[in-house]
A and B are shown apart, each in its own frame.
Chain A
Amino acid sequence: ETGVTQTPRHLVMGMTNKKSLKCEQHLGHNAMYWYKQSAKKPLELMFVYNFKEQTENNSVPSRFSPECPNSSHLFLHLHTLQPEDSALYLCASSQGMGGVGYGYTFGSGTRLTVV
């Protein structure tokens, strides 16, 4: 039990499919994040939510649509993805947005393959 649970662990989807990734944290944190990790590239921050409000969207294509219904749950809705979107998608949470000492707790990730 890591405190941050991501489902599914693996996902294969066609370019015309619609799917959703789910993240749930049991730590009482108030900030949640989506990261994308592609091979041979640094982790890329996609979205940031603080107290359910989106505070960052790092120029992510609209085919990725986040949703944060409450501070414990975060979704990433996927539609009409491209093969280059295949990656490991990591969810993280933290106690606060400010304060340099607040590290993140990560989930195990969803390994997405777009065919």
Chain B
Amino acid sequence: AQKITQTQPGMFVQEKEAVTLDCTYDTSDPSYGLFWYKQPSSGEMIFLIYQGSYDQQNATEGRYSLNFQKARKSANLVISASQLGDSAMYFCAMREGQRSGAGSYQLTFGKGTKLSVIP
């Protein structure tokens, strides 16, 4: 089963509007971290925001906020006031706390959502 699911292959948003990128995750580990990365066409993965499973409040970083709904296992990224420079691929990722076989401690990524900001 996929650990990180991003159901939107592509999204369009008007400049200055807000947009929500969906992410659901699957884990039985009580301790985990959720990350969002942005990947422009240049290829570099840029860290945007982090949410810990025990954090009581939703994380915010400037125009980025994370809508964390633990019971639903969702961690959607909200970008407010979209800018043309926000056009990129966006990846949701998770890091689990318990070692559980091969691949432990690694970041597991979703397939990504391509966001296009329209002027």
Residues of A in contact with B (beta carbons under 8 Å apart): 2, 33, 40-43, 45, 48, 56, 58, 88, 90, 92, 97-109, 111
Contact = CB atoms under 8 A, between A and B. Distances in A.
A97 B43 contact: no
Prevailing SS type, chain A contact patch: loop
A58 B111 contact: no
Interface residues of B, number: 28
6 contacts: A42-B4, A43-B91, A45-B107, A90-B45, A101-B33, A103-B35
Contacts, number: 63
A2 B39 CA distance: 14
Contact of B44 (A41, A98, A103, A109): A109
CB-CB nearest 3 A-B residue pairs = A100-B33, A106-B45, A109-B43
Interface of B: 4, 31-33, 35, 37, 42-47, 50, 52-53, 91, 95-97, 102-103, 105-107, 109-112
Contact of A100 (B45, B52, B103, B109): B52
Given A88-B43, A107-B44, A100 B107 contact: no
A40 B114 CA distance: 11
Nearest to A106: B45
Contacts of A107: 44
Contacts of A99: 97
A87 to B, nearest CB: 11
B99 to A, nearest CB: 9
A43 B47 CA distance: 15
A45 B103 contact: yes
B50 A101 contact: yes
Given A100-B31, A108-B43, A108-B44, A56 B102 contact: yes
Given A92-B45, A101-B33, A109-B43, A48 B52 contact: no
